[in-house]
Amino acid sequence: MEIVLALGIGALAGSGVWLVLRPRTFQVIIGLSLLSYAVNLFIIAMGRLTREAPPVLTARAPGDPAQLADPLPQALVLTAIVISFATTALFLVVLLASRGLTGTDHVDGREPDA
């Protein structure tokens, strides 16, 4: 499972970086989204990979840490998802404003001189 997750994160991050470096704003926003997926998966992985392990203790039973998932990265990832969703939406607005004001979707606001 580790190798699958690692490959997945790598593919997402690689495509994300490539897209962020492209000259069109739409490519940049997709790239940033892919990067944030990669980062979210990475945060989960940092809490160690577990299968079928609940993150909460059952009532009145002494918990064995080995049988439990780390709840903190899950909480972090929820926060990170919300924040990156909000900032991506905000970027989308700036992107549209830029498209409207400059008449081009190039990140520099003007077409490069061919």
Binding site for other proteins (CB under 8 A): 20, 25, 28, 32, 35-36, 39, 42-43, 46-48, 72-73, 76, 79-80, 83-84, 86-88, 90-91, 94-95, 97-98, 101-102, 107-109
Separation of alpha carbons 81 and 40, rounded Å: 7
With respect to other proteins, which residue has the nearer C-beta, 8 or 47? Answer: 47
CB 30, min distance to other proteins, A:
12
**CB of 92 closer than 8 Å to CB of 22:** no
Side chain identity, residue 12:
L
Q: How far is the CB of 6 from other proteins (least distance, A)?
A: 14
Nearer to other proteins, 7 or 17 (CB): 17
State the minimum distance, in angstroms, from the CB of residue 98 to other proteins: 5
Q: What CA–CA distance (Å, rounded) separates 21 from 75?
A: 31
Residue position matching structure tokens 């980062």: 39
Task: Answer positive or negative: Cα dihedral of 23, 24, 27, 32.
Answer: positive
Token digits for 49? Answer: 């990979």
Q: Which residue, 55 or 91, has its beta carbon nearer to other proteins?
A: 91
